[in-house]
Amino acid sequence: MTNKTLQYLDYLKLLDILKSFTLTPFTEESITGLRPLRTLEAVKERQDRIEAVLDVVRWEGRFPLSRIPDIRSILKRVAIKNAVLEEKEFLSLGSFLKASEDIADFLKKAYSKKPFIEEVIQRINPLVPVCRRIARTINPEGFIEDTASYDLSGIRADLFALRDRTRKRLERLMEKEAVRPILQDAYISLRNGRYVIPLKPNFNEVFQGIVHDYSHSLKTSFVEPIETVELNNSINILEKEEKEEEKRILEDLTGFVRGSAAELEMDLRAIEELDFFHALAVFGLEFDCVRPGVRDDGFINIRGARNPFIALTKKDGTIPIDILMDREKKAMIISGPNAGGKTAALKTIGLLCLMAQSGFYIPAVGSPEIPMFANVFAIIGDEQDIAMELSSFTAHMNIIKDLYGSVRGDELILIDEIGGNTEPQEASALSMGIIDAFVEKGCKVVVTTHLNLLKAYGYAKPFAINVATAFDSETMNPLYRLVYGTAGYSNAINVAKNIRVPKEIIDRSYEYLGKQEYMLNDLISTLELGKRRVEDEQQELKRLREELQGRLLLVREKRDEYFKKVEEKCDAKLVELERELDEVRKELAKKERSSVMKGKEKVKGLRQRFIKSTPKIEENISVGDYVKIRTLGTTGHVVATDKEARTFEVVMGNVRTKVDAALLQRIPKPKESRPAGTIHVNAERVPAAEINVIGLRVEEALTEVDRFLDRAIVQGIPQVKIVHGIGTGRLMGAVRDHLSGAGYIKGLRRDETNSGVTIIDLS
């Protein structure tokens, strides 16, 4: 692709938009050099990486890359053998390493990580020892710490003591009676690295000193008294030693960092690459882009395509277009009125093809399909070269000539206003010859035109397709949509009529238009009218189909209603039969009741006779004792007593009954044994009546919820809570859908105080 083509199609401007989405200062250069890729493998790899970053951004938000400083110049200085880094440069390195560690931690915590993200995590090395040594040596204000070395600590301690002695000696000097008259002000200053006091010009009448500076008015002399000269000298010596020690510390630290220069370079490249794909991913989100399928064949299918620059200008008012060109079609001829959107459509086709071939997501809907072109060329605008005394037409043809000589096939050729700026008949013939020549070389050609003969060429050639920019014939306003299979017409005279150009001018225009042109326009109008009639008939067929479907649905509803009535009648008949059966059962029961009563009286007599023959032996029995009922031979334990009636309430298994005291015999507590056929459930106890599944995947969360509810039911917990959070609502919806309609759940509702919690009432 030539830079001229990239400029015509606004590809270079698109790169400027992408730069605005970068977060680090060193990624812009990578975007500036972006150009369409040459292989399908490279395109797919870039798309995969954008998709990997998009997954993280959708779940976790945008990457924390904005605080990362640019350390490229620092790494260049580290590469120089005897170079020594400054304190601020070490602070930048420390900030870079800390930010690198933060972004690595951010990516590690991401819910969804594709291979590219895992690879970046492995490539980032926070160099913790380097970061810690920088932090120990240099404080956040950019000064070397006292603890950076033992010698530095001693020097600074001595300096502090000397400076304090010097200040105190000067303060005592200023308090002397003899000095006060010549003292200009009561403060200690620092001049040329030496402590001085402000005195009047006649100070030498009182004591000796060295003048280091004067005030602007020359009324104040900054004097170093003779008494403090030695102290100041000692301070200067220690300050030089301090500087030398600090330089030595910085040299050592630079050498330590130099040992990790390769790792730092790798970290920088990883962060740069991460920011690069993050910018492409965020661009895709901001412009509602989708991933296009890039193929080897020549099929173009882009639904709802939007030009990013039109979207920036018109925002929600952007009208999307469909770009459709199947394998058999090699030439697309776009026609229509001026300012109807022909050039915009041409540039949108070219720009979206370049974006797809660069591995970008494109602003469209669905699943776009775009071929992998060997090259894309665009000829747009007035090519007149005044310096070479070339006309617009000549310059235009020179570019087409050079382009034809360079193409080898499988290119996309975009030409705006082909054959313009010359006589229409010859321009039409020349334009058709140009399209034929490029198609024969294996190129796909998209042109815009006002030439009627070229529109007829679009109908006549099987490899060509006419596309019209939609136009409202009543309001004479463009609709900025593409209509396939038909040619548009300029409507220049109709537009002139619409703005009330005088009738005599319009009539003369029709006379000058010429018979052939008029016939062609009439043919196009007739075709348009026929197309609209076909569309109206299709709409009518669609309406009839929907009407028949509605009637069919009504018949099905009537059928269901009939079946329902038959079912209700059957149910009523069954109820009647059941009622008759109940009556029959009652009759049978009456006949058997008398024999049953006789049997009960006989049993009662036998029981009374047996009880009379059993001696009444009362024992001292209390609540909790285990007893045996003499008459039945069964055992149980006493749970209550009635001393007045001399009866005890005894529990025998699942039966609780009152027994006379005389019939009970106290026995030892039986050994515990598990009855045959009894089912025992061992379940882990639920520590609390709620479970937190925030952060789990949907499948993992549902498994944990089921396990939790099983334990809660076994332990008889009546109500539990499930804490799933709000987030995207996906986990919350999955949990509620999973539990809705479960037989063991009495009720399911949202916690009124926290929308991220679901309360479940168990049966």
Q: Count Cβ atoms within 10 A of the Cβ of residue 442 and give its class: 0-12 exposed, 13-18 middle, 19 or more buried.
A: middle
Check the annotation: does 343 bind a ligand: yes
Contact present, 110 and 117 (Cβ < 8 Å): yes
Q: Count Cβ atoms within 10 A of the Cβ of residue 448 and give its class: 0-12 exposed, 13-18 middle, 19 or more buried.
A: buried
Check the annotation: does 340 bind a ligand: yes
DSSP 111-148: S---HHHHHHHHH----HHHHHHHHHHB-TTS-B-GGG
Check the annotation: does 140 bind a ligand: no
Alpha carbons 11 and 355: distance in angstroms, whole number:
8
- Give CA torsion, residues 401, 405, 408, 413, to 10 deg: -20
Q: Give the tokens for residue 497.
A: 């009529």
Alpha carbons 648 and 514: distance in angstroms, whole number:
125
Q: Give the tokens for residue 367.
A: 């699943």
CA 102 to chain centroid: 19
Check the annotation: does 612 bind a ligand: no
**In the 8-state DSSP scheme, what is residue 689?**
S
Q: Which residue from 468, 174, 180, 162 is spatially nearest to 341, judged by alpha carbons?
A: 468
Alpha carbons 290 and 360: distance in angstroms, whole number:
9
- Give CA torsion, residues 253, 256, 260, 261, to 10 deg: 60
Check the annotation: does 61 bind a ligand: no
Check the annotation: does 307 bind a ligand: no
Contact present, 641 and 597 (Cβ < 8 Å): no
CA 67 to chain centroid: 20
Check the annotation: does 564 bind a ligand: no
Three-state SS annotation for 254-276: HHHHHCCHHHHHHHHHHHHHHHH
Buried b or exposed e, range 254-293, using 16+ CB within 10 angstroms: beebbebeebbeebbebbbbbbbbbbbbbbbeebebbbbe
**Phi, psi torsion values for 82, nearest 5 degrees:** -100, 10
Q: Which residue from 594, 599, 658 is spatially nearest to 629, judged by alpha carbons?
A: 658
The 10 Å Cβ neighbour count of residue 662 is 16
Check the annotation: does 281 bind a ligand: no
Distances from the Cα of 654 to the Cα of 518, 622, 648, angstroms: 105, 21, 16
Alpha carbons 36 and 612: distance in angstroms, whole number:
112
Residue with tokens 């938009």: 17
What are the binding residues? 336-343
What are the binding residues for ATP? 336-343
